[in-house]
Structure 1
Amino acid sequence: MRGRKGNRFARLLASLLDRPLPPGTRLAGRYELVEPLGMGSYGLSYLARDIGDGTLCVLKTDRLSRRWRRRPPSSLPAEAEALRACRHERVPRLLGLFRERGRWWIAMERKAGPTLESLLIEDAVRFTEAEALAFAWDVALLVKELHSRGYVHRDVRPPNLVLVPPGDGDAAGAGSAFRYGRAHLIDFGLARIIGSEPEKAGADTDVPEEKRLRRECAPRADWYALGHLLLFLLYSSYPGAPGDEPPAGESPDPGWERELELLPQTRRLLKRLLQSERAYESWPALEEDWQAALLASSCGVSSQS
């Protein structure tokens, strides 16, 4: 009973401490809050306006309830450093880091557009196998660039990919896979220097395998995430067949290998990205397999592998 009361009290306190600031609030003598954008496990984000030039940007801050719960110190300074080190046209530009109202704040460029998650779930956009491979490969190239800067993102997921229309003459934005724009990667809150120590799981040592793989401070964490991203895109055109029963004696949850009709090259790529077969150890090996899958899907034929 004490545990239930404690949980209720924690939720009540969080609702009070983490209440969004009202529109019109001014911060750092430069930014004016327009509206809240969302609240995650660790922080809150706002759409804001630069008072000087009127441009819109995003402000991100910690949840005050984390301090009451004795959570680790703010990760926002580390996130700001990651944004600074990973500066790229498809990554939000860091505008500033400051302390106000007893907590850290990051100001960053606003990436305007729908997320990949909303595009696929709310708008029911469908990708063919060839389009899924091309789109995810474009994200992989961005991830590769981040790795060359010494950082692993560790949170490459559909809600963190914003579709921004390509600029004039942007050849990479041509083709049906990019009809809604190119993916820009946001939310560097979990980004870490490659080779650094991952966060400890605390008293709970029963960490799910997927979370462990995603939280490694190594390139394979992002490769694993790219595998799930590719799978997410491929499932966008899966017909489903509600009500169908699996054959007698077979699992009711057969998994993607049975449900998706894919070229052998795509299957091989997915298995290695998802580490159900020998995991990739380098970018050249991953690129070779991805290019083979892209070529096979563009030709509509494949060789058995």
Structure 2
Amino acid sequence: MFKRMILFASNKMESRFQQNEIIANRYQVVNHLGVGSYGNSYLVFDQLLQQKKVLKALRIHKRITKSGRKRFEIEKELLQSIKHRGFPKYFEDGSYKDIPFYTMEYIEGKNFEQLIFQDGRQYTELEAFKIASDVLELINYLHEQQLIHRDIRIPNVIANGSEIMLIDLGLARKYDQDVGEHKKSKRNLRKEITPQADLYGLGHFLLFLLYSNYSFLKKQKESSWEEELEISYQAKHIISRLLQIEDCYESCAQVKTDMKILIGK
């Protein structure tokens, strides 16, 4: 309760950068993009290099604690370590009004939250699993680097033309197998530092895509997704294993094998 009160009070005190404000004598704020667990993200114009970038500034309730600032530093280091076109490039860091920030590549396109809920996009089973297969490749890259993203959600997956990109490493952690095995007993799947945490997130990501093509009837009795969605047995099998309803997947390779059967590649 006390922690929630501190969070509420700090959010009330927190002020965002204003449009056209110049950050660190270099970055002009174009607009506020969103807020995450650790930072406020802004689209800015780098007046030195004459290009758009994303600037992420540490939130007040995180910067007043040593652990919050340390976690922000770790997030920067993780982003710097990634060398893959499916993730935004890290550029530089700095401080403005004692607020730590860093900048990264601005990715054109829309995230799947915008595509589904704002643009009304609908996805067939095949389309949904092809997109999920692309996301799986990005998750697999992270796992090969011993990184667990821990925040696979529709706002963090961007469609940039035909290319799928994954953003926001604010909750990412280095994977330690011994720690991960210990945490499994707590069953807080999204917060585990295990490969299954990202696969669980992928399962929910898939459900959002599939429900985009579902018509909700008025006064309809609530049912499970297995009953509501008209999808193939293979699709249900994959999602059930991702969500650990059935025997869970141990690796991205296992998921990829099953997805190949469905999408035929």
Same fold (TM over 0.5): yes
Match of 2:213 in 1: 237
Match of 1:110 in 2: 106
Q: Does 2:81 align with 1:85?
A: yes
Gaps of 5+ in 1: 166-180, 202-206, 246-252, 299-305
Per the normalisation by structure 1, the TM-score is: 0.77
Alpha-carbon separation, structure 2, partners of 1:111 and 1:103: 24
Which moved further from structure 2: 104-113 or 277-286? 277-286
Alpha-carbon separation, structure 2, partners of 1:41 and 1:288: 33
1:133 CA displacement: 0.9
**2:148–2:195 CA contact under 8 A, matched in 1:** yes
Alpha-carbon separation, structure 2, partners of 1:140 and 1:66: 30
| Residues 133-185 of structure 1: per-residue CA shift (max 9 Å, x gap) | 111111111111121122111111111112111xxxxxxxxxxxxxxx33211
Which moved further from structure 2: 90-99 or 25-34? 25-34
Q: 1:159 to 1:10 in 2, by over 3 A?
A: closer
Q: How many residues align?
A: 258
- Match of 1:92, as an amino acid? P
**2:63–2:99 CA contact under 8 A, matched in 1:** no
Q: 1:284 to 1:12 in 2, by over 3 A?
A: closer
Match of 1:55 in 2: 51
1:237 CA displacement: 0.8
1:189-208 to 2 correspondences below 5 Å: 189-195=170-176
**1:76–1:106 CA contact under 8 A, matched in 2:** no
Alpha-carbon separation, structure 1, partners of 2:205 and 2:229: 15
Per the normalisation by structure 2, the TM-score is: 0.87
Question: What percentage of aligned pairs have identical amino acids?
Answer: 33
Match of 1:184 in 2: 165
Match of 1:172 in 2: none
1:147-296 to 2 correspondences below 5 Å: 147-165=143-161, 181-195=162-176, 209=187, 212-245=188-221, 253-295=222-264
**2:28–2:44 CA contact under 8 A, matched in 1:** yes
Gaps of 5+ in 2: none
Q: 1:91 is paired with a residue of what secondary structure?
A: coil
Rg larger for: 1
Q: Out of 66, 70, 73, which is 2:68 matched to? A: 73
Q: 1:164 to 1:280 in 2, by over 3 A?
A: same
Q: Out of 11, 14, 21, which is 2:11 matched to? A: 14
Alpha-carbon separation, structure 2, partners of 1:282 and 1:276: 16
Match of 1:174 in 2: none
Q: 1:237 is paired with a residue of what secondary structure?
A: coil
**1:162–1:184 CA contact under 8 A, matched in 2:** yes
Alpha-carbon separation, structure 2, partners of 1:277 and 1:191: 26
RMSD of the TM alignment (CA)? 2.5
Alpha-carbon separation, structure 2, partners of 1:183 and 1:20: 29
Q: 2:204 is paired with a residue of what secondary structure?
A: helix
**1:77–1:97 CA contact under 8 A, matched in 2:** no
Q: Does 2:72 align with 1:96?
A: no
Alpha-carbon separation, structure 2, partners of 1:227 and 1:92: 23
- Match of 1:227, as an amino acid? G
| Residues 85-142 of structure 1: per-residue CA shift (max 9 Å, x gap) | 2221121100012233223211111112111111111111111111111111111111
1:100-139 to 2 correspondences below 5 Å: 100-139=96-135
Match of 1:248 in 2: none
Structure number with higher helix proportion: 2
1:60 CA displacement: 0.7
